[in-house]
Chains A and B, each alone.
Chain A
Amino acid sequence: MSEKSGTALSRRQLLTMIGVSAGATAMYQAMHSLGFAAESKFQGPIRLSAAPKGASVLVLGAGIAGLVAAYELRNAGYQVQVLEYNPRAGGRNWTLRGGDRYTELGGETQECRFDPGLYINPGPWRLPYHHRGMLSYCKRLGVALEPFVQINYNAYLHSRKAFGGKPQRLRAVQADYDGHVAELLAKATRNHALDAEVTAEDQAILLSSLRSSGALDSNYRFVKGADSSERRGFERDPGGGLSARPAFSEPIALSDLLRSGLWAALSFGALYDMQTTMFQPVGGMGQVGQAFARELAPLIRYNAKVVDIHQDERGVSATFEDISAGSSRQTLRADWCVCTIPLSILSQIPMNVGASMARAIAAVPYCTGLKVGLQFKRRFWEEDEQIYGGITYTDLPIGQISYPSSRFFADGKGVLLGAYIWDMRNSMDFTSMTPAERVSKAVEYGSQIHPQYPKEFDNGIAVAWHRVPSAMGCFGLWSDATRAEHYDNLCAFDGRIVLAGEHASYMPAWQEGAVTSALDAIDRLQERAAAGAAA
């Protein structure tokens, strides 16, 4: 740390620093109120009582929620029928591979031209270890899992406005942030600034812990040397023989680090939803939907566009158009309906439910998320930069670049997640572009981080979720206010209809929200079915 930034630290400055790191607690509380960081309610495989004789259920939508509901209800003996708009199961659980064709709203068709074995997950792509519902279904359905590398200390943090636009290794930013904060806190402690808050006995322990947590030297300084380089990496790594002597690296100055804004990314790996170990299905997230589809094959009617849902005292009818066969209309009927159609679409389908559920369905706009997959002629991020999986975060509109967590060291081509955009400003902008423009922009922006891009780029594919015909949005966007007013009304049974999906959960966008909402819905369904049969 430079002399200038190391002296004359005011209490106010110190507290600003602590405030930045203490933000984790405030962060968790805010996340909790919004439904994030909620622990999965999954309590092991559901045990439904046997279906009343002849009881039937109509499941609308073959995404994760619909598939879970159909699978469990069928196992319990219900007569299950599933209607799905797409010609495949899974919904947003979806993997694009070489040879796949995808037509978005507006009519643009993209053909995925990835090499065999390479893929992109346009939707969900990772499974936290505590999403026990999803993990349980993967195990039961024989979907093999492998580690998903969330945190890679050798990936980059990048800001156009910092360090001349030169990407910094996460390793160095993390070490320098921890080191500088520890040094400041040690300084404040030794200057008796914390005497009112920390006993003398505890201050001694605190100082030891700061040396340990911040890699401080024996004088409680975070400076260039063995201690700091063992965290942030070396200018020249230690080796063997005559070239063995290491060269230490110079920490980033505190002020430069603070002003870079890169510290904003340091908490990502500490988030409950992002903590290691995370998993991914071998061969793509879409393996989960496909595995369910194999189980339920005869029950799912594909290419079925639901246009009307009507209930009466005895059952529920769903009218649909077979979009593969000239839009002829047909109607299916059952005793009960589990409707998992995204609210972006359900809000436009006539359905005779009460005013409170109808208002809830109409109250939720959808996130405009978007992904771009890019195939390159070689895995330059591994070969040139020793980046094996993980994520680079950037202030460029692409948001992040994620490196594949499988097939490390493979010869041949490789596929990156070249853009993953959630923020509304940029995702709306990207959605407005043609698919080719989105791919081209992702390459252009990514070149600022990886100069190999222009030479090594091969082809790409872009999926903007508002343009996906079956979803027309990425996931339900709740606010504290809309959740307080509408959430319970959305989830409550209305006659013979119950809704399920990530939109009916406190885990927005996560598949675990779809799983747990489906299990909660069918648990209530069986109670009603049993009560009806007994009456």
Chain B
Amino acid sequence: MNKKRLAPPAAAVLCSAIALASIMLGGFAREGRARADTAGILDSEPFTSTDGRQIYEHVCRGCHMANGVGAIGAGRFPALTKNPALGSRQYMALTILMGKRNMPAFGAKYAIGFGGPPVILNEAQIAAVINYVRTNFGNHYTDPITAAQVGALDQGTH
């Protein structure tokens, strides 16, 4: 039997139709596909707060704990208090942008989503949470980082 393949122009229309659907629909439904049922049908809102404390409490606290005390189990989540690494705001920015070991990346260039889009923090959000951590939990650093400086660091990574 003569089976015709989908003609190239029709295939192109199909692709653009899928793209159109992608734009029109929000959330995870946007992708029109799921890799597992754990992907769910959640329309996950991007995290938009630029308040350092809010970012810490909703994104970082799960591992670094209340007041940045960290935790020790079979491994450890580093404390963000009395931690000399906090002396370098650039180190903190790069760690948040690119991730480190078990800690996921939050920079748009590096973040991996699963069961939905990744949590992406922009330059202003990263600066805000760094400045929050470096002036709380017993930290008293007086050299804040700016969003532009985070952006410049991000530009330098690849």
A-side residues, CB < 8 A to B, are 11-12, 15-16, 18-20, 22-24, 26-27, 30-31, 34, 36, 85, 105-106, 150, 157, 159, 161, 196-199, 202, 261-265, 267-269, 271, 273-274, 305-306, 341, 343-345, 347-349, 362, 364-369, 391, 393-397, 399-400, 420-432, 464, 466-473, 477, 479, 482
Which of B21, B38, B41, B58 meets A429, CB within 8 Å? B58
The answer to whether the Cβ of B29 comes within 8 Å of any Cβ in the partner chain is yes
- Provide the bound-state CA to CA distance between A482 and B72, in Å: 27
Q: A425 touching B66 by the CB < 8 A rule?
A: no
Which of A16, A343, A365 meets B17, CB within 8 Å? A16
CB nearest to A36 among chain B residues: B35
- Provide the bound-state CA to CA distance between A31 and B35, in Å: 6
CB nearest to A399 among chain B residues: B40
Q: B114 touching A477 by the CB < 8 A rule?
A: yes
For B34, the chain A residues whose CB sits under 8 A away are 27, 264-265, 267-268, 271
For A366, the chain B residues whose CB sits under 8 A away are 102
- Provide the bound-state CA to CA distance between A339 and B73, in Å: 18
Looking at the assembled complex, report how far the CB atom of A424 sits from the nearest CB atom of chain B, in whole angstroms: 5
* A-B CB contact pairs (8 Å), 27 listed: A11-B13, A15-B14, A16-B17, A22-B14, A27-B34, A31-B35, A105-B73, A106-B66, A159-B41, A196-B4, A199-B1, A261-B25, A261-B26, A261-B29, A264-B28, A264-B32, A345-B75, A393-B40, A394-B41, A422-B38, A424-B116, A425-B44, A425-B46, A469-B73, A469-B74, A470-B74, A471-B74
Indicate the member of B13, B38, B39, B42 with the most A CB atoms within 10 Å.
B42
Looking at the assembled complex, report how far the CB atom of B35 sits from the nearest CB atom of chain A, in whole angstroms: 5
- Provide the bound-state CA to CA distance between A34 and B101, in Å: 20
Number of A-B residue pairs having CB atoms within 8 Å of each other in the complex: 225
Per-position contact with A for B95-113: 1 when CB-CB < 8 Å, else 0? Answer: 0000111111100000011
- Provide the bound-state CA to CA distance between A450 and B17, in Å: 37
CB nearest to B65 among chain A residues: A106
Q: Which residues of chain B from 24 to 82 have any CB-CB distance to chain A below 8 Å in the complex?
A: 25-29, 32-47, 57-63, 65-66, 71-77
Interface SS majority for chain A: mixed
For B2, the chain A residues whose CB sits under 8 A away are 199
The answer to whether the Cβ of B20 comes within 8 Å of any Cβ in the partner chain is yes
Q: B112 touching A30 by the CB < 8 A rule?
A: no
Looking at the assembled complex, report how far the CB atom of A437 sits from the nearest CB atom of chain B, in whole angstroms: 12
For A348, the chain B residues whose CB sits under 8 A away are 75-76, 101
CB nearest to B21 among chain A residues: A16
Looking at the assembled complex, report how far the CB atom of A378 sits from the nearest CB atom of chain B, in whole angstroms: 27
For A367, the chain B residues whose CB sits under 8 A away are 114-115
